Amino acid sequence: MAEAMRDFKEREQALREQIRLELAEREKQMVQLSQKEEEEFRQRLEVHLRAKIQQEEEERYFTGRGYVRYVNRHNQTEWIPPEEANLRQEMKRQEFWSSMVRGRTFRKHRKQWIVGGVLVLLTLAMIGILVGAFSTQRSARPGTLSVKSDVPGARVWIDGLERNLLTPTASFTLQQGIHCISVAKPGYIATPPAVAVTVIPGRIVTATFAMAGGGRLVPVTVKTNLEGDTPFDLYVDGYRTPLDSTTGKLNLTPGLHLLSAVCQGYRTEPPYRRVMVPAEGGVTVEFRFVADLKTGWLQVPEPAGAGFVYVNGKFTGLQAGQGLLPLPTGTCELQLPGLDFRAVPDRLLTVISLGRTTSASFRVEPAALLTAKVNVVTPGTDGAAVMIDGVWLGRVTPLLEFTLVPGTHFLNLHRDGRWLAENDVPFNVLPGQTVRLSYDRF
């Protein structure tokens, strides 16, 4: 018996030594991988820094010696003396006026037959105007649209533009034709999401909506494959939310919500779920946790609650300042887009190391003016719920003249249980620009 115990202890000791050696080798590989990633990150930063310094020093060197920057016809930058720059500008002006003179000479020879052609066209145009005026008088007669909802106080949109009236007293005079009508009220879901009506001259057409919700709470059940009482964090609309540990339920208002779950030592499949919570009954959301030790953690502590974090152009479901996000090791690009603020920097490179927590912060600058606009249309499938930068706007397509800050933003649409894309679609808008986004196959 004693000999068997000694043999058992020797085998136990040998096994422990073997495991220690394996752990030491694993730690060595982790350190080497982390050092390699940090070196690659430093090299990339050095490339960016070298390019920036090159540009700044080049400009300082040449401007200090009296040269000016000049962009030639091939869109290449040259540094030349001011006299030469003025000479080139003068040559450009001369070329312009020379082309104008050549054009006038050519037009002089065409003048006679052009005058004759213009007289003929004017005669035809007068005939067309007389005929068109008669037909326009017949077709331009307006009709009346009445918008009703079973819950009063809903805002009304016609063809994507908001009108300054609320249901049930919303009545509009519209030109004949097909128009898209939608309504919205906080805490309610409109059914149907949009109505296409045909306005007939001299008649009244009615668009009717049923509004569900009204502050009521709907039970949402969250299921996972974790065994026992393994804890995990649940996030709703990007914020950590407590879950009843005995029933696995929480109560949410009707509408579109974002749910994500995080558990240390696991990756979540899928990383988040966007769920349309109905006004009646309930809904079940399932997450699958897969053990994964080859990950690191990202923390974006600042600015707390400013917006959703995007990693490598993909939505994460995590709001800034709301816990840790598991990510695979390596270099990643972070973005923090917003509708009414600008994050500085626009993009942030960081390295996720194995088993470590990496912290990355942005600075938020409030937008003085929302100088950019976006139009989102879905021909043939109006009434799709619109999400920009991970935020449900409470609006449906067509969405017209929606103002936001210039820069990069992300879009997704939801209609009849379908999403426009698995990953949010990026789009960029410049100051003073209006971008049109059309999805006819959605």
In angstroms, rounded to a whole number, what is the distance separating the alpha carbons of residues 431 and 408? 11
pLDDT band with cut points at 50, 70 and 90 for residue 414: confident
Q: 411: how many CB neighbours lie within 10 A of its CB? A: 19
pLDDT tens-place string over residues 417-429: 788 888 899 999 9
| 218-366 topology per CATH | Immunoglobulin-like (2.60.40)
137 or 343: whose pLDDT is higher?
Answer: 343
In angstroms, rounded to a whole number, what is the distance separating the alpha carbons of residues 114 and 120? 10
429 neighbors 436 (Cβ within 8 angstroms): no
pLDDT band with cut points at 50, 70 and 90 for residue 334: very high
Give the per-residue pLDDT at 369.
Answer: 65
Is the model's pTM score more than 0.75?
A: no
Q: Which amino acid is at 303?
A: P
Q: 429: how many CB neighbours lie within 10 A of its CB? A: 19
pLDDT tens-place string over residues 133-149: 544 444 456 888 899 88
- CA dihedral sign, ordered 116, 117, 122, 123: positive
Mean residue pLDDT of the chain comes to: 81
Cα 348 to the center of its chain, rounded Å: 17
Element (H, E) at 123: helix 82-139
338 neighbors 391 (Cβ within 8 angstroms): no
Beta bridge partners of 78: 70
User: Over 90: is that where the pLDDT of 410 sits?
Assistant: yes
**Mean pLDDT score, 55-84:** 75
Q: Where are the domains of the chain?
A: 142-213, 218-366, 372-438
In angstroms, rounded to a whole number, what is the distance separating the alpha carbons of residues 409 and 390? 9
Element (H, E) at 122: helix 82-139
Beta bridge partners of 76: none
Give the per-residue pLDDT at 115.
Answer: 61
47 or 268: whose pLDDT is higher?
Answer: 268
Place of tokens 């008088």: 137
In angstroms, rounded to a whole number, what is the distance separating the alpha carbons of residues 391 and 10? 61
pLDDT tens-place string over residues 199-255: 888 888 998 888 876 667 889 999 999 887 788 889 998 888 888 878 889 988 887
Give the per-residue pLDDT at 134.
Answer: 47
User: Over 90: is that where the pLDDT of 70 sits?
Assistant: no
Q: 300: how many CB neighbours lie within 10 A of its CB? A: 27
Place of tokens 């001299």: 202
Q: Which amino acid is at 73?
A: R
411 neighbors 339 (Cβ within 8 angstroms): no
Domain 372-438 is in which class? Answer: mainly beta
- Per-residue tokens: 252: 């949410």
In angstroms, rounded to a whole number, what is the distance separating the alpha carbons of residues 103 and 175? 45
305 neighbors 322 (Cβ within 8 angstroms): yes
Q: Give the range among 103-112, 121-130, 148-157, 320-329 with minimum mean pLDDT.
A: 103-112
Domain 142-213 is in which class? Answer: mainly beta
pLDDT tens-place string over residues 243-280: 887 888 998 888 788 899 988 888 888 888 888 888 77
- CA dihedral sign, ordered 136, 181, 433, 410: negative
In angstroms, rounded to a whole number, what is the distance separating the alpha carbons of residues 405 and 433? 10
Angstrom CA distances, 256 to 44, 210, 213, 228, 392, stand at: 40, 17, 12, 30, 7
User: Over 60: is that where the pLDDT of 432 sits?
Assistant: yes
Looking at the chain, the whole-number percentage of residues with pLDDT higher than 70 is 86
**Mean pLDDT score, 353-357:** 88
Beta bridge partners of 268: 289
